[in-house]
Amino acid sequence: MKRVILYTRVSTEEQSQGNSLQYQKTFLENYCKINNYEVIKYYEEDHSAKNFNRPKWLELTEYCKKNKSDIDTIIFSRWDRFSRNHEEAMAQIKHFKKLGIEINSAENPLDLSNPDNKILLAMYLVMPEIENDKISKRTKEGTHAAQVAGKFTNKAPKGYKNVQYSDKDRMIVPIETEAPIIQYAFNELSKGVKSIEYVRKEVNRKGVKIGKSAFPELLKNQVYIGKVFVKAWLDEEAYWTKGLHEPIVEEKVFWDVQELHFRKKPRQTKLCRAADPDFYLRRFLVCPHCGGVLTACYSKGNGGLYGYYKCPHCNKFNYSAIKANEKFVKYVKQLIPNDSILELYKEIIKDLKKENKSEILKEISKLKNDLTTEENRLVSIDTNFMDGKISGEDYMRMKASIDERKFNINSRLTLLQPGNSDLENKFDYAIDVIRNMDVILSTGKAEHKIQLIGSMFPEKIQFDGENYRTNSYNKVLEYIFQETNVLKGEKKEETDEKSVSSVSVPRAGFDKSKIIKINPIENKG
């Protein structure tokens, strides 16, 4: 009769999915009865299988060293209960083989004396490791996506607590007794009178215990002004983003503390080299060969300096900046709807304001219901994401789709809402900018060109030396482009005389002085 040790293992998460210790134990006991094995010892583990530094496994190993003559086999239900690390698993099997003890699975038993079974053994051991790597990758993707969305994913700092709203949906919220003390610390230090150590002692006396070295780190933590730190991911650098949690400290107070006590000022967004008038496209263009973002530089030649856009990644693309800029102006000019369509669009907006009020109110009510539906969908995918039911990639894709629909709904609501007296002036100005985009790109300052391009193109632009391509435009522009044919159909009789097919219709009445104060159409998509 074989003498065996039973080993069961489960993590908390796996237990919730039905891989309970009791289930494994019952299965192994039945397996031993059928095969007439004698169970001499039973160990149950609740640690991860990424390595063998597990309390119960170490106990089992020590027991086997002392009682190796009394043990034939260590049995577990599946190979992934044994290990999710192929190399360490093989090392353990060899170790116990030297002790004369076999290691095997009840569900997939292998005769390890048969060399051919080593292939199956490798497969059984590698598959859990691959699954573990996938789980780890999904976890990291999910954490990154949550951070990008403004969710705090770590243990709450002093003054906050983690609150569980559903299975895995949690946020940090201020602690009523601690948050005012943290706020007091920042307010006092922002005055520049008391030292950090003096205020730390005050904070301790008030009830928030914190060490001498930990307190300065607390004061530097932007979580207190409602920010979330997004860790570096793939090619993306780490950065702070606006969080979903409630801030405890006013932003001005926070930065006053940084400047007074750490000589640190808030980072200012600078255009830097991208504002070079010769290279205003550098932050927007991507390489047609590798998809990498193009850089720009000057090269000496024929007694002068000449600007070029080039790819620093694959070094397969190098093109004259002057020619690329000229072709981009022509490309944008082709995108501009002709004057008749822009004027017609303005007329449609005015007509909407004059239409039957009851119909407009019905439409507003419907749009508000649609907006509520999208908000509920957003809550739903947030919950599914935090529950692990959808991947980080799927979450970001669905969220982008919902945000786009919300933007379109809100845009329509803005047009329909009564009492927006300044709407017509704003719309006139937006149309004026759209009508003269190529003029701005030809004669405006580099900063204004960059602002306009950033507003027009939410995604990168590919340039192959001849043609420009992009996946999407600013939602306002895209909506006008899409609606052009509809508008033509609705107002055909009224516009027959005014219809113009060329996109290069002279645009009278544009004041070039407006270029220097352009507040471009905001891309909310």
3-state secondary structure 220-279: CCHHHHCEEEECCECCECCEEEECCCCCCCCHHHHHHHHHHHHCCCCCCCCCHHHHCHHH
More confident residue, 478 or 436: 436
Q: Is 306 helix (H, G, I), strand (E, B) or coil?
A: strand
Give, in order, the Cα–Cα distances in Å from 116 to each of 92, 103, 110, 122, 127.
20, 17, 10, 11, 18
79-124, pLDDT tens digit by residue?
A: 988 988 888 999 999 999 999 999 999 988 999 888 888 888 888 8
Give the residue carrying structure tokens 């920042």: 186
pLDDT for res 487:
46
Q: What is the average pLDDT across 255-273?
A: 69
Please say whether the beta carbons of 2 and 37 come within 8 A: yes
Residue 337 pLDDT > 50: yes
Fold of 3-137: Rossmann fold (3.40.50)
118-151, pLDDT tens digit by residue?
A: 888 888 888 877 877 777 787 788 888 888 888 8
DSSP 465: S
Give 3-state DSSP helix, strand, coil % of the chain, rounded to 5. Answer: 55, 15, 35
Please say whether the beta carbons of 91 and 103 come within 8 A: no
Please say whether the beta carbons of 44 and 93 come within 8 A: no
Q: What's the per-residue H, E or C state across 478-522?
A: HHHHHHHHHHHHHCHHHHCCCCCCCCCCCCCCCCHHHHHHCCCCC
Q: 80-92 burial by CB neighbour count: b if 16+ within 10 A, else e?
A: bbbbbbbebbeeb
pLDDT for res 249:
94
Identify any residues that bridge with 161 across adjacent strands, giving them in sequence order: 173
Please say whether the beta carbons of 125 and 91 come within 8 A: no
pLDDT > 70 in the chain, percent: 79
Q: What is the average pLDDT across 11-35?
A: 77
Please say whether the beta carbons of 242 and 236 come within 8 A: no
Domain parsing of the chain, residue ranges: 3-137, 160-262, 272-324, 339-517
Give, in order, the Cα–Cα distances in Å from 513 to each of 105, 432, 444.
80, 13, 9
Structure tokens at 495: 């516009």
pLDDT for res 106:
92
Q: Estimate the crossing angle of helix 392-416 against helix 117-148, to 10 degrees.
A: 30
Please say whether the beta carbons of 141 and 395 come within 8 A: no
| Mean pLDDT, rounded, of the chain | 80
pLDDT for res 421:
46
pLDDT for res 43:
95
Q: Is 401 helix (H, G, I), strand (E, B) or coil?
A: helix
Q: What is the CATH number of domain 160-262?
A: 3.90.1750.20
